[in-house]
Each structure stands twice: as C-alpha cells, then as structure tokens.
Structure 1
Amino acid sequence: MALLQHAYGIMTNPSAEWVSVRDDNSSFKQVFLSHVPFLALIPSLASFYGVTQVGWSVGSGDPIKLSIDSAVSLSALTYVALLAGVFILGEFINWMSRTYGVSDSKERRHHAGTALAVCITTPLFLAGIFLLNPSIWLNAVAMIVAGSYAVYLIFEGMPIVMSIDKNRAFMYSSSVITVGLVLMVSAMIGTVLIWGMGIGPIYID
C-alpha cells in the first residue's frame, strides 16, 4: 500500500510528495528495497510478455517474436540493470550533495539522494507498462513523456528534498540529468557488448 501511495503521490501531487520525502526518516535500505525491486518488475515483465506473446511488426510483415529462453535472459538482465541504474544514480546524487552545499548529515544525505533517484525514475518505471505492446512509436512517445516528467520532478524536488536555494538546486538538478544521460548511454553500450558476446535475442521463425 505504501508503494502505491508513493507512486500515486509523485504522479499526481509532487510538491506535497517531495515534502513527505524530505520529512521521512526511513533508512537508505528501506527507501530502496521497498520500492525499486517492485517498480523494476513493471518494464521487465511487460517487455517479456510483449516480445514473446505480441511481437512487433516491420512494415506489413508478420509479428516478430523472441523465444521464451531468450526473453527470460534479456528480461532478467534488464531487471538487474534497472536496479543498478537507480542505485548508482542515487549514489551520484549523494556524492554531489557536498559540492552544492547540502548541510545534512551523511546518513540524511544518503537517504535523500536515494529517495530522489527513486522518485524521479518512477514515471519511467510506470511507462514500462506500454511494453506489453512492443510498438516502437508507442513506447518512444511513452518514454519521451515519462522522461519529460522525470526532468520536471528533478527541478521541482531538488530544492525541497535537499533544503537548498533554487539557484544551487538548478545546477544540482542539471548535473543529475547529465549523470542520468551518461548512465543511459552506458546501458546502451553494455547492451551492444552483451549482444556481441552471443547473449543477444533469439527470434522465432
């Protein structure tokens, strides 16, 4: 129930949710483990169903699908990558906090950095439901909308959660976005390397 309330709050009333995040005394483990493992299941399971049961089409051809074994491997790798991505993003937010004048204790900053990472990636996790239909255009639009809202959440939440002025929060948020883009590119490169090792998708004829 707490997870649903958190997701609903960050999507419908982010200003109030950021205040709740700031005042929350949960530990790093509680923040991360109570949300990310469950949210990461959405795109992982949705993509598994989409590529094995629905498939995608190129032009007017028949739907292209992946084998079950191939989809299981790729979905598992996706799940692990999502967990690692949110964790690393949270660590970068925490690491940069001193640079931008966050004066809270180390434990408090650690909580805040992780909470920010969880909150700003929630829209992207939720948009993963569209992978049930692996249409390139549908999912591109969904991810663009979710990504735009995630950027809004960063700029909205940073001064509240980190208790810093808006000028420093703007620079801090811009740095977080840059880190997020670097992580995205790294994930794409890692995918190419994995496929090059022969662990890529296996299509059904």
Structure 2
Amino acid sequence: MNLIQRAKNITLDPKAEWPVIAEETTNTADLFKNYVAPLSAIPAIASFLGMTLIGISIPFLGTIRTPIMSGITTLILTFVMGLVGIYLISLIVDALAPSFGGEKNPMQALKVTAYAFTPAWLAGILHIIPSLGILGALAGLYSIYVLYLGLPVLMKAPQEKAAGYTAVSVVCSIVMMIAFTYVIGMVGGASMIGAGRIPTSAKTEEVGGALGELAKMGQQMEDANKKMEAAKKSGDPQAEMKAATDALGTVMGAGGQAEVVDKDKLKALFPEALGNLKRNSIEGEKTAMGEFKISKAEAKYSGDNNQQISLTVTDTGGSKMFGAMFAWGIMEQDKETDTGYEKMGKVNGRPTFEKFQKDGPSGEYSLLVAGRFIIETRGQNIDMAAIKAASAALGYDKLEAMKNEGVK
C-alpha cells in the first residue's frame, strides 16, 4: 500500500477505492504504523505551529500565542488521543453494524474508519494558519461522506440503511471526541511536560486507576458484544437496538454511570451575586447519547472596572471515561514566572488546577468534586482570591451531598 497514492485515491475517487480496500489484507499494527500515524500527525503538528509559533491576531490585543510547553503538551495529547480515537470509533462502527443490516468485522471497521478520516487529516495542514481552521472543518464534513460511501462496501450494510448507519456512527463519535477534546484542553493547559510529576504520596491504586478502568471497560465491551450477538439471534429488533446502545455506552466510558443531576438543580446552586459582581446570565443544558450523559450549568458575573467571572459546573455522572482520563488528578505541578504561575495537584483531596496571569490580571481555577462534578471558574481583571471565592460559592458541600444521586 502506497500512502500517497491511497490518500489521493480515497480523497478524489472514494467510490472506486473502497472496493479495492475491502479486498486488501492487513493488520492493526501495519495500518496504524504505515497510514494512520503519519497522516494523523499532520493536523497535530500544524495546530502546534499555528497556535504556538504564528498565533492569532486579535484587534486591539495584538497576537496571542500558546506557550511553548503547553503547545507541546497539547500536540502530544492530540496525536496520541487521535490514534486512540480512531480505534474507539472503529469499535462504534463495528458494534452498530448488525443494527443496520451489516456484518460485524473489527478489521474492516478499522479500515473504513481510518481511511474515511483521510480528507480531514490532509486538510489539517490548514491549521498552520489558525484563521483557516474552518476550512479544515469543511473537510471533516467530506470525510463523513467518504464514510457513508465506505460502510456498505466494507461492513456489508444495505445501501438504504447507509445514511442512518453513518449518522448514528458520527453522532456517537462526536460525543466521544468532545470528551477527548475537553480532557486535552484541561491537561494541555496545565503544561505538564517537564513540569508535572506523580507525587510520591500518590497511592498505588490512584496511579493504576486509569489503566484499571480502561481494562474494565474493555471487559465490559466484550460482554456487551456477546449480548448483541444473543439479541441478534433472538430476532427482536428492540433487543438488538438496546444491546447496541449498551455497547456504545460502554465504548464511551459510560458503563456504571449515574443519572446526571437535572440542569435546573445545578442552576439553583449559583448565587445572584458574587460580592459586588452581579449575575447577568445563567443557562443550563443536558447532553445525552444512549447511557452517556452530561448536564451542565453556567453563569456569568460582572462588576465595576470591567471585572468578570464565568462559573461553570458539569456533572459527568461519575463517567468511567472521565474517571480514567483525568490523570491530572494524580499529577503535581508548581510553576512560577515573573508574569504568573500554574499549579496542579490536590486540595482537601480534590484534584485541582489553577493558573494566574498578573497582567490583567486574569486566572482560572478548576477542580473535581465528589469524583463527578467539574467546577471551572475564570476571571478577568480580578485576583485569584476572588476567583477561588467564586468557585467555593457554589457550595462544595452541596455537591458532595449529591454524589450518590442517580447511582444505579
């Protein structure tokens, strides 16, 4: 397989290339080494160059660039999680196949997923100029079309069901990638490379927790697939769909997730004022895909002298995905410069991250409460003490009291 020729063919003439791909024999290692890794590195490297070296020009503010260490951290996380994401999306595609009249085949699912991403990866070079990033998003839409053409060929799904198969696969993948992006943003902002470390006080079970949860999810996925096979043999369409949904929930790390707290109950936690800052907006939302659910509420406050605070609380329902990927919960960092500082570790047993810039001043403070509630507080023209006070105003004890709500 010639990488350049394959990338050209699948992008310019996917209808003719998919039958060729369907007949090829390969393995996971070779596919990742010879195709997925080289191409998926394009957007990661281009984004690093664009955001770290070139930057974004904002009127009246000049050019804003991501710090080098944060940029490198984000580059590595984006690349690694991109590889993991391709594999997990292929599991979604494979798990859904029987529900849309297709045939389960893990290798074919991996091939159709990997090759369908080609246009998006190639267009990732546009991220070197941040303002052109929207064009990369358009290429992502073309990748969806390429996937739509490939599913009937590689997964043997009837053509009339290809649109539904594609739509459900894409929506499930988007939910999963949103979670990935959230974690990349949280960890990337912490500049862990060269600065973070696992504290000597961390317990063995904490250090191995992420790997243990991933292994557990793998076993759950295997069990879910067996249930799908049994449901298929029963001939009951509703049983098949429920089994498929359970499998997807496991893939996205929702196995064992509690029912999230209602968004209105989260909104009720926000005070009308934070000191002399008055609340000027509040909103809530709930996102759900199968068993994977997240509820969120956000309020914004402002005061004299352009003081601003944004306060957000997100309930992950104790999702295994978040539990496995919040590695910053066992990391430690204390970095200080002439212009500000970054800290990461634990406060009263809760994973925390804080960042402060003297110029402005501006800062952010994030923490995980009761293993499921993420509180994020960002402030402009205000000191860190006020930012932390705003975070605490939500009532950590109230959130702790909700930790078992919705637990199955």
Q: TM-score, normalised by structure 1?
A: 0.85
Q: Distance in 2 between matches of 1:46 and 1:17?
A: 27
Map 1:43-192 → 2, pairs under 5 A? 43-103=43-103, 109-135=105-131, 138-140=132-134, 142-192=135-185
CA offsets, 1:129-162, max 9 Å, x none?
A: 0111122xx212x133112201211221111222
Q: Deviation at 1:33?
A: 2.8
Indicate the larger mover: 8-17 or 119-128.
Answer: 119-128
Q: Deviation at 1:201?
A: 9.5
Decide whether the 8 Å contact of 2:86 with 2:113 is kept in 1: yes
Q: Distance in 1 between matches of 2:355 and 2:125?
A: 21
Q: Distance in 2 between matches of 1:32 and 1:102?
A: 24
CA offsets, 1:74-110, max 9 Å, x none?
A: 111111111111111011112222333334xx6xx11
| Change in 2 beyond 3 A, CA 1:172/1:114 | same
Decide whether the 8 Å contact of 2:108 with 2:155 is kept in 1: yes
Q: Distance in 2 between matches of 1:130 and 1:201?
A: 30
Q: Distance in 1 between matches of 2:44 and 2:356?
A: 17
| Change in 2 beyond 3 A, CA 1:188/1:88 | same
Q: TM-score, normalised by structure 2?
A: 0.45
Q: Secondary structure at the match of 1:123?
A: helix
Decide whether the 8 Å contact of 2:54 with 2:65 is kept in 1: yes
Larger RCO, structures 1/2 (Cα 8 Å, 6+ apart): 1
Higher normalized helix content (fraction of residues): 1
Q: Deviation at 1:178?
A: 1.4
Higher normalized strand content (fraction of residues): 2
Paired residue type of 1:94 = D
Aligned length: 197
Map 1:26-45 → 2, pairs under 5 A? 26-45=26-45
Paired residue type of 1:25 = T
Q: Deviation at 1:202?
A: 10
Q: Secondary structure at the match of 1:57?
A: strand
Q: Distance in 2 between matches of 1:200 and 1:118?
A: 37
Decide whether the 8 Å contact of 1:43 with 1:128 is kept in 2: yes
Q: Distance in 1 between matches of 2:148 and 2:163?
A: 6
Instruction: Say what the alpha-carbon RMSD is for the aligned residues.
Output: 2.5
